[in-house]
Each structure stands twice: as C-alpha cells, then as structure tokens.
Amino acid sequence: MANIHNQVQSTPEVVLRKMFDAAVASAQPLINIKQYLPSPPKGRTIIIGAGKASAAMAHALEQHWQGPISGVVVTRYGYAVACQHITILEASHPVPDMAGQQAATDILATVSDLSADDLVICLISGGGSSLMSLPAEGISFADKQAVNKTLLSCGATIQEMNCIRKHISLVKGGQLAAQAYPARVLSLMISDVPGDDMSSIASGPTVADNSTFADALNIVRRYDMHLPDSVMAYLQQAQNETPNQDDYRLSTTKNIIIAAPQMSLEAAAEVAIEHGYTPLILGDSIEGESRDVALVHAGIAQQVVRHAQPIKPPCILLSGGETTVTLKGNGRGGRNAEFALSLAVALKSEPNIWGIACDTDGIDGSEDNAGAVITPTTLDRAVAAGCKAIDYLDNNDGYSFFETLGDLVMTGPTMTNVNDFRAILITDQNVK
C-alpha cells in the first residue's frame, strides 16, 4: 500500500528528481571516505588531490583523520569547501587555466623530498585532468589549452582524450605518484568514467599507464585533429613514456574507488521501488554520441510501452556512463541536454514516458545546468513557444531549448561527480 500511495502522491517529474538527488547523495565524500582511511604513518601525512569533488573529499577527510595533516588540493571554481589544515585552490574546467598550472606545480612541490615513512593521501575525482594541468617541456600553456578545446569537440572517448593528455603532461598517467616515491601513496577516487577505469579518472595521476606515444598519435590521426606544432613534435619525439605497471616508483601506491556510477544507480533504483516503479539498470558505463545513445534508449522505452519487454510498466530505465557530443552547430548545451533533446524528438510525444538526463557534478559541460527533463508534452510546448526541436538539436543547442520551456535542471555544484545519470520513467496509464 505504501508504494501505491507514494506513486499517487508523487508526479513523474518529482520521482525523477528524487532519483537524481539520491544518486548524487550516495556519492558524497562524507558518506564514503571514512572506511578507507589507514592508520597514521610514522612520518608525515600529506594530502593532495584534484577534481570537482576534491575539496569536499578533503573536508570529509579532516572530519575523520586522527593526527596532523597538511597539503593542497585543487577544485573547480565555485566548488571550494573550507578546510582547516589543507589548502584549497580553484582553477578552470573543462579548459585549463594558469591557476591549474600553478596548482599542479604546488602539488608536485608538496610531494617532493618525502621518505618511506611518509604517507600521501591523494584525493582524485572527475575534472582533475584540466584542474591539475602542467604541460610537458616545450609545450606552452596556450598550446595545452588548444589541445583541450580540440579534444572536447572532436567526439573522442574519455579514454582516448586521456591518452593524449597523459603524454603531454608532467603529472598525469602515474607521474604524480612517481614523484612521491618512496613515500606510500593511497589514492582515493570517485569514479566518473565508464567501467571505472582508474587510469582514466582525472587521467590517472597515480595509476600505471600502459598506453604509449604511438597510441596517442594514432588517436590524433583517427579524429583528424589539428594540434599545435609543439604538441605534435613532442608526441613524435616519443621520449619519457609514462610509468607503466612495472615501474618501481609505483610499487608503494594503492588506488581505491570509494564511489562509482553503479552505486548511484542502485541508490536511484531504491527510490524507484519506493514509489511503485520497477527499476531496470541498463548499464553504468554507456558511451557514444549523446543523440545516438538517446535513440537507443528511446527504442527500449517504446518496446516497453508496446510489448511490455524487457520489463513491464510502471517501470524506470536507468543508465550511467559518459556520452560525447561532436559539435556541428554553435548552440549552448552539454551532453545531457543533447541526450534529453534527442530523446524527446525520438519519442514523438509518447504519452506514457518521462525522462531526465543530468551530470552528477551539477554542471552539464560548461553551462550552469545539470541537465534537463522531458515530458510527454515537451514537443507540444516547444511548438507553442515557437521552438522547432530538430533545429535546436542540429545546432547542439539543448540548453536554449530547455531554458525556453523551463525544463533545465539547476542544482549548482554538487561537490561530487560520478558522471551522467539518466532515467526514463514509463507509466502503465496516462499520468498527468
């Protein structure tokens, strides 16, 4: 009876937002970090880190740590959380700025001249790749910024982007941990990448990297990237490969994921059950073009409506991962707004389907929204407002489309990041 009551009392839009909120809450550092903290070492305890959740992680660590600590972490502008003993720096994301370069320099200095008695706790989360950005010798910071802009618009996967980033950096791809040797390094991570690949989270600054300069060059060719001459020259020289799994400098490093997309999807599934919906998790590591992924999700949802397969309504389809957008227009909007708009177009005002697509860090790409919601009336309301959905989709302008309808999801910084969250709610009757 409780489930029926909740379903009646909560509209589909409310249920979708409750699930998103639960997904974000389950990935909060204060909930997850304590159980992974070791005993204090004989020597010093140094805290470093980078990512959208790093300041919140540092704050959570301070609440639970017994003993003296010091250190520095860098997070995105607006994501700072006050700490007593750990210096919190802010820098730009997704395109790095000079503050990120200075932060990387400060972090490297913090882990220099350590002994085997010292402990380094590294707090890593999504976004750390651009926030802790220190280009390799001979590559200017402007050239590094140009690379990031190209990577964000070429359609490459996160793993492919990170392969290139690692090979033009002094900190990524295990190089940060190598600098801390012989100190013991414990890296605590919040995963924002498909498959929870540790080497891809913030470009794996403490994780062995088995990719090569040759791999990076192949990716450049695959996407026909036009990178600065200094970058191409450095990649072609192929010197100083990143530390691989046999590098002795990583022998004292341990990496642990403390929060991940699957955990957040399971938290959302519990909310679905509480409101009378059967959840089905389609996957926590779905990749591909946002608009294409939306077409697949729409097809599954329509199969449910028409044939009650692979699950019967009322139900909710859940998925996570990280999609990509190949920019062809000049509109505003991140991958989640693009997914939502493509989903709305594909569903063609199906009366029993609602959806939400949001980034769990609260920022969809570089905009101020987390994502957007769609309803069975999305396309009709758009027509009434003078908006042709397909034109907005062709211009990569999901933000403007949903802003006009009042259907953007605005959360502000969530202080965590387990990447995309998508939910499609399907009723067994016309629910308004």
Tens of pLDDT along 238-249? 988 999 999 999
Q: Which residues contact 143 (CB under 8 A, 6 or more apart)?
A: 135, 228, 230, 231
Q: Judge whether residue 136 has pLDDT over 60.
A: yes
Read off the pLDDT of each residue in 333-362 and give the average, rounded to a whole number.
Answer: 96
Residues 6+ apart with CB under 8 A from 80: 55, 88, 90
> Residue 231 has which token pair?
């970058």
370 and 358 Cβ atoms separated by less than 8 Å: yes
Residue pair 152/165 in contact (Cβ under 8 Å)? The answer is no
| Predicted pLDDT at 65 | 96
pLDDT > 90? residue 119: yes
Distance CA 226, CA 329 (A): 19
pTM above 0.75, yes or no: yes
Can you tell me the distance from the alpha carbon of 97 to that of 135, in angstroms, rounded to the nearest whole number? 12
pLDDT grade, residue 429 (50/70/90)? confident
Strand partners, 48: 72, 122
- How many CB atoms are closer than 10 A to CB 67? 10
Say if residues 329 and 395 touch (Cβ distance below 8 Å): yes
The 184-190 sheet, strands edge to edge: 86-91, 70-76, 45-50, 119-125, 184-190, 253-259
Mean pLDDT of 260-282: 98
Q: What is the pLDDT of residue 152?
A: 84
Q: Would the pLDDT of 371 be above 90?
A: yes
Report H helices in 35-118.
Answer: 54-64, 98-110
CA angle in degrees (0–180, nearest 5) for 192-194-195: 110
- Contacts of residue 133, Cβ cutoff 8 Å, sequence gap at least 6: 91, 96, 100, 101, 104, 141, 144, 148, 169
The mean pLDDT value for 23-29 works out to 96
Q: Tell me how long the chain is.
A: 432
Q: Do residues 396 and 331 make contact, with C-beta atoms less than 8 angstroms apart? A: yes
Gyration radius of the chain over CA positions: 22
Helices 158-166 and 213-222 meet at what angle, rounded to 10?
A: 130
Residue with tokens 């010798």: 137
Q: Is the pLDDT of residue 430 over 70?
A: no
Counting beta carbons within 10 angstroms of the beta carbon of residue 245, is it exposed (0 to 12), middle (13 to 18) or buried (19 or more)? exposed
Query: What percentage of the chain's residues is helix, strand, coil (to nearest 5)?
Result: 40, 20, 40
Residue 366 has pLDDT above 90, yes or no: no
Q: Please, what is the angle between helix 2-9 and helix 261-274, to 10°?
A: 100
Domains of the chain and CATH, by start: 2-26+262-426 (3.40.1480.10), 29-259 (3.40.50.10180)
Q: Are the CB atoms for 347 and 298 separated by under 8 Å? A: yes
Mean confidence (pLDDT) of the chain: 94
**Beta-sheet strand order (sheet of 353-359):** 278-286, 315-321, 420-426, 353-359, 371-374, 408-409
How far apart CA 278 and CA 95 sit, in angstroms, is 40
pLDDT at 95 over 90: no
Cβ-Cβ contacts under 8 Å for 75 (sequence gap 6 or more): 50, 51, 52, 53, 54, 55, 81, 88, 89, 90, 91, 127, 131
- Residue 105's CB is within 10 A of a number of other CB atoms, namely 14
Kindly tell me if the per-residue pLDDT of 432 is higher than 50: yes
Lowest-pLDDT range of 120-124, 149-153, 343-347: 149-153
Helix (H) or strand (E) holding 405: helix 398-405
> Of 195, 313, 187, which is closest to residue 253 (Cα–Cα)?
187
Q: In the structure encoding, which two tokens stand for residue 295, read together?
A: 């077409």
Please determine, for residue 158, whether its predicted confidence score (pLDDT) is greater than 90: no
Q: What is the mean pLDDT of residues 67-90?
A: 97
